[in-house]
Amino acid sequence: METLNQEAIRWAASVGITPERAAFLAACPKFTKCGGHMRHKKLPNDSPDRYLMRSGSKYYFRVHSHTGKDTVVAVGTDLLKARAQRDVLLAQLKAKSAKVNA
């Protein structure tokens, strides 16, 4: 356990943490913030069918946004054509995003 100064002990008490728990958290920063843990790392998705969802015989282009809204567009029944249509839609979304951020 790490020794805490008086300021840290007062802060811990103000947020409802015991001095022992605060000392533990100070000794183990991996429990208090992300330090690049394996569970937080994004896995590379190199799938050629990324953003494509299949339901029945149809393929759908699906993108999640940070606002919680999904974009879902039917892109056909042929996988190769669906991939091509997906690439066109992604390019349009990137162009739209570039205009908004400009």
Per-domain residue ranges of the chain: 6-34, 52-101
Residue 3 neighbours by CB under 8 Å, 6+ apart = 23
pTM: 0.54
Q: Is the pLDDT of residue 1 over 60?
A: no
87-102 burial, b for 16+ CB within 10 Å, e for fewer? eebeeeeeeeeeeeee
- 17-72: per-residue pLDDT in tens? 998 888 887 776 555 555 555 565 666 778 899 889 999 999 999 888 778 888 88
Banded model confidence at residue 85, pLDDT cuts 50, 70, 90: very high
Q: Is the pLDDT of residue 79 over 90?
A: yes
Residue 18 neighbours by CB under 8 Å, 6+ apart = 12
pLDDT, residue 39, reads 60
Question: What is the distance between the alpha carbons of residues 22 and 10, in angstroms, rounded to a whole number?
Answer: 10
